[in-house]
Homo-oligomer: A and B are copies of this chain.
Amino acid sequence: MKNIYAIGVGLIGGSLAIDIKKHRPDTVIHGISRKDATLNKALELGLIDEKATLDDIENADLVIVSIPVDATVKLLPTILDKISDTGLVVDAGSTKEDICKVVENHPKRRNFLAMHPIAGTEHSGPTAAIEGLFVGKTNIVCEVEKTTFKLQEKALKLFTDIGMRIRYMNPVEHDRHIAYVSHLSHISSFMLGKTVIEKEKNERDIFDMAGSGFASTVRLAKSSPEMWTPIFKQNKTNVIETLDEYINNLTHFKELMKDDNFEAIYEEMKNTNHIKDILNGII
């Protein structure tokens, strides 16, 4: 896998490029982006070795697609059209069902591997790319059996080498689970930020009182709307289900408070406290 083409050179694409180059110094990383300014920035930062276009993909040993999931669904068939018989295309999108579906009958389906590296920060773009982002993180691979064995083997070796552990899941299960542990967190954070900002319009000083706890809870509200809108759109049904459950739990908590049932409030928190043990080791 000497010639690697990164379509999208932001947080995920750029960070993958850094780590792959570090572990495989002889690879050449070619960057592809909608915006030339983004490519120039990636070149300047040393994330990529060369600028390229979609037409160059025929020379690729590996293509890594790390762009918003609506763009992936749109572009993936064209990318697969262009890949050589010995080349592999992987995507790093946060949804998997629509992406797998759009290429399910593509003649080059066996040259595609669907994956979701569970890693990131709230920042975006080439400047957000960091070394070692994937160390100890989970890479969820979907429909592995649909990919040519030799190609999956090479790719999974590469992603294991940069520090990831591989887990296998079908795309429907992936989207249902990830709604709970990732998509819902983002909405809870965005709406918490909104609630406090609305208040702050009338109360200028309120943010002076915010501490590290608030900052931690609202951190994901810094995330890119360009990236997250299509995720919520593609995973609409699952996300609405998680929102229903979350809103019900909040409403129940509020009702307990209204009823002065603070013993039950205590129990609500006590029963959730063991999240400590569950979270141990995640970060």
A-side residues, CB < 8 A to B, are 118-122, 137-138, 140, 167, 177-178, 180-182, 184-200, 203, 205-223, 225-226, 228-230, 232-233, 236, 239-240, 242-247, 249-251, 253-254, 257-258, 260, 262, 265-266, 268-276, 278-279, 282-283
Contact = CB atoms under 8 A, between A and B. Distances in A.
Given A180-B206, A188-B188, 15 more contacts: A178-B209, A187-B253, A190-B272, A191-B250, A198-B245, A207-B278, A212-B282, A213-B219, A215-B283, A216-B283, A222-B279, A225-B270, A240-B257, A243-B254, A247-B254
Contact of A257 (B180, B189, B232): B232
A197 B269 contact: no
Contacts of A206: 177, 180-181
- Interface pairs A-B: 9 shortest CB-CB: A225-B269, A181-B210, A185-B217, A118-B211, A193-B275, A193-B272, A191-B249, A229-B266, A212-B283
B196 A213 contact: no
A197 B278 contact: yes
A247 B185 CA distance: 15
A250 B245 CA distance: 11
Copies of this protein, total: 2
Contacts of A198: 245, 249
Contacts of A209: 118, 138, 140, 167, 177-178, 181-182
A167 B254 contact: no
Given A181-B211, A254-B240, A257-B232, A221 B273 contact: yes
7 contacts: A120-B211, A181-B214, A184-B192, A187-B250, A187-B253, A216-B220, A243-B254
Contacts of A219: 213, 216-217, 279
A86 to B, nearest CB: 32
Contacts of A250: 187-188, 191, 243, 246-247, 250
B279 A194 contact: no
Given A206-B177, A215-B283, A225 B257 contact: no
B180 A268 contact: no
B188 A192 contact: yes
Contacts of A217: 185, 188-189, 216-217, 219-220
Contact of A262 (B189, B194, B213, B229): B229
